[in-house]
């Protein structure tokens, strides 16, 4: 059987194609793939004093994880944050996207305002919200009745952190939903209006099913991001805060073990546990999306 001859042009396109994606592939391998295997490898070791002298402990770190109440509490804190932040941010973003997708005056200005938190520096965001949450002279306690310890009360601190996360991500989600909404033909809504469907009926019967792939994409990416929350907690909750135990996430715990206590092996184990949890949640979403995501 004669082999298919590859023309000079096809060979050139093949080479240039690989050259164009080479920087991205190299970055992905160096910054993502290799560190994953290094982390898994490191989780089987105990790091000595000052980060030196790795000692192979096998599954010892994993046995310690399952009996470490701080790890379980951090996992529970992370889940509570995700359960609050993800659905609320998606709902608010979707509603805003629907309104801003219509013909309203100054919609470009509103889109810019809602997206501004995404380009703000995390340190600046933390500074502003710490002032808003301040129990003595914060704006929230000045407006609302009573005196609430928003970030020092262990019972509500994690929800206060989730509010910051919701506020920060609304604009990004909204842009994704706007992109999905603009792909929906207006003829569908005109036909629904002729049939007597009101705005709410059109939203649930047309908008949600038609942009369900976008909703699914936002859901998956937001769950992954929420399970990796760190910066907002690190900058808002300091080490002397009485709510620290009830607010630190798994990534916060990884930072504590790896860089504060110098035990990178045990910190790597915490990250591997987080990786497994995220993979399980992603698989569950992939299986469940078959029932409500419509690609046609």
Say what percent of the chain tops pLDDT 90: 51
CB 89 within 8 A of CB 166: yes
Average pLDDT over residues 25-42: 92
CB 203 within 8 A of CB 196: no
- Tens of pLDDT, residues 270-279: 999 999 999 9
- Paired tokens of 244: 């620290």
Q: Quick check: 108 pLDDT over 80?
A: no
Count CB atoms within 10 A of the CB of residue 82. Answer: 22
Q: Quick check: 2 pLDDT over 50?
A: no
Predicted TM-score (pTM) above 0.85: yes
Domains detected in the chain: 8-56 (no CATH), 68-291 (1.10.3720.10)
In this predicted structure, what is the pLDDT of residue 1? 44
What is the torsion angle, in degrees rounded to the nearest 10, for the CA atoms of residue 119, residue 228, residue 130 and residue 121?
-20
Nearest to 81 by CA among 211, 250, 221: 250
- Tens of pLDDT, residues 181-239: 988 888 888 888 888 888 888 888 888 999 999 999 999 999 999 999 998 999 999 88
Give the 3-state secondary structure of residue 55: strand
């Amino acid at each position: 059987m004669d082999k298919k001859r590859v023309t000079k042009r096809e060979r050139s396109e093949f080479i240039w194609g690989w050259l164009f994606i080479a920087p991205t592939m190299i970055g992905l391998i160096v910054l993502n793939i290799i560190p994953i295997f290094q982390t898994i490898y490191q989780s089987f070791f105990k790091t000595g004093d000052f980060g030196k002298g790795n000692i192979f402990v096998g599954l010892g770190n994993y046995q310690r994880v399952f009996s470490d109440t701080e790890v379980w509490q951090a996992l529970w804190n992370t889940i509570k944050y995700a359960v609050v932040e993800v659905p609320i941010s998606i709902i608010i973003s979707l509603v805003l996207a629907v309104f801003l997708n219509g013909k309203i005056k100054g919609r470009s200005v509103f889109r810019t305002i809602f997206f501004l938190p995404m380009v703000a520096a995390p340190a600046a965001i933390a500074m502003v919200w710490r002032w808003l949450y301040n129990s003595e002279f914060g704006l929230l306690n000045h407006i609302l009745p009573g005196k609430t310890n928003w970030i020092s009360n262990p019972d509500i601190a994690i929800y206060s952190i989730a509010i910051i996360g919701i506020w920060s991500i609304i604009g990004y989600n909204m842009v994704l939903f706007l992109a999905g909404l603009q792909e929906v033909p207006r003829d569908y809504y005109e036909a629904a209006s002729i049939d007597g469907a009101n705005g709410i009926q059109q939203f649930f019967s047309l908008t949600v099913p038609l942009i369900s792939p976008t909703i699914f994409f936002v859901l998956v990416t937001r769950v992954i991001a929420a399970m990796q929350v760190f910066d907002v907690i690190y900058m808002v909750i300091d080490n002397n805060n009485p709510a620290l135990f009830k607010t630190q996430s798994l990534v916060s715990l990884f930072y504590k073990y790896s860089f504060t206590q110098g035990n990178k092996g045990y910190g790597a184990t915490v990250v591997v546990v987080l990786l497994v949890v995220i993979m399980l949640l992603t698989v569950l979403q992939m299986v469940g999306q078959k029932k409500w995501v419509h690609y046609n």
